[in-house]
Amino acid sequence: MAAVSGLVRRPLRQVGGGTAPQCPRATPAHPSSSLSILLSPCQVSGLLKRRFHRTAPAALQVTVRDAINQGMDEELERDEKVFLLGEEVAQYDGAYKVSRGLWKKYGDKRIIDTPISEMGFAGIAVGAAMAGLRPICEFMTFNFSMQAIDQVINSAAKTYYMSGGLQPVPIVFRGPNGASAGVAAQHSQCFAAWYGHCPGLKVVSPWSSEDAKGLIKSAIRDNNPVVMLENELMYGVPFEFPAEAQSKDFLIPIGKAKIERQGTHITVVSHSRPVGHCLEAATVLSKEGIECEVINLRTIRPMDIETVEASVMKTNHLVTVEGGWPQFGVGAEICARIMEGPAFNFLDAPAVRVTGADVPMPYAKILEDNSVPQVKDIIFAIKKTLNI
């Protein structure tokens, strides 16, 4: 009560001198009260207003892991033809806990643990898709999808074309892709350019929780084989989850990019985890008066080059950022498409690519960090492009 006492006894001063009108002191209800200071009704009212001041509700935060889980759960519930198979996806809830709770809810027939044989269970999944089901085939990491490349490319991607449009293959291949942490060369490759090269596949690469849920649901409903490239380091990252994304009807169209930040000086295009680095770089550069327009591709194939072109025509500069290797990469494709299209005539400087280093991923931490794009690398590339 000492703090309250000091507050009550201090006179309220008006601007320019004089004492403000005082509320009458309250009469104690119980003379024996031990309170040395009693508050007037006006003072009590003021304290209550401060105590019960309402603030805007905090935005819902959802991790990328939970967003994918929610999307799969909703589609499993919506369509009994949907099922999930892969290594440890059932009783163990997935190596990265992305399928947490699904086995308990849907049972062995729809959440299926497989042997460690990517060639085998990918083939089973493709056959199931040809038979009219909608499998979600999880690779513990997309590096292991190399064991099933024949099933993904020759069986899944090409069948619809080879059958003259008579045999669709509605399947989703999903799992973590790209650099992780301390897993070295054989577990760190980015397969965006690998699978983006192949006709017959659709390839999506989410960054945020909103991306992850909207794209996994669209991928499951698509009648074409879809490769969903997730990122291990993003699974536990929370993002604001808008009310729209919480709906069971929420979908993100495959083939549509998103402008994450508006800008006028330079266009920065990326996908997956590096989108966050681009936004960090844009925040830093904004303090120097450089406004970057950051585009989150979301989809690698079919690529939304129209959104990139429109941005380049506005900013007259282009930087691409990706975690994969430089040769024949996503950035190289973007630059080629810009050069071949109407936006080329709007460029005031050559486009610049920021990529992973052209080496297998090292194990040592310092070498690993220098093998993938960092915020400082993006800032350097932007300033180089703008000749600053």
Helix (H, G, I), strand (E, B) or coil at 31: coil
Known catalytic membership, residue 280: no
Question: Looking up tokens 């199931």, which residue turns up?
Answer: 128
Selecting among 88, 187, 197, 280, the annotated active-site residue is 187
Query: What torsion do the CA atoms of 348, 354, 358, 362 make, to the nearest 10 degrees?
Result: 160
Known catalytic membership, residue 187: yes
CB 173 within 8 A of CB 139: yes
Helix (H, G, I), strand (E, B) or coil at 79: coil
What is the spatial distance between Cα 225 and Cα 122, in angstroms, rounded to a whole number?
Answer: 12
Q: How far is CA 25 from CA 19, 42, 204, in A?
A: 16, 9, 69
Both tokens of 236, joined, read: 């536990």
Selecting among 74, 118, 293, 322, the annotated active-site residue is 118
Q: Other CB atoms closer than 10 Å to residue 71's CB: what's the count?
A: 24
Widest pairwise Cα distance in the chain: 95
> What phi, psi does 160 have (nearest 5°)?
-60, -45
> What phi, psi does 136 have (nearest 5°)?
-110, 110
**Residue of 152, 251, 162 whose CA lies nearest to 202:** 152
CB 209 within 8 A of CB 235: no
DSSP string, 132-196: T-EEEEE-SSGGGGGGGHIIIIIIIITHHHHTTTS-----EEEEE-S--SS--GGG----HHHHH
Helix H or strand E segment including 62: strand 61-63
Helix H or strand E segment including 103: helix 102-106
> What phi, psi does 55 have (nearest 5°)?
-115, 160
Q: Give 175's strand partners.
A: 229
What is the spatial distance between Cα 252 and Cα 205, in angstroms, rounded to a whole number?
Answer: 12
Cis peptide bond upstream of 302, omega within 30 = yes
Q: Could you give the residue numbers annotated as active site?
A: 118, 187
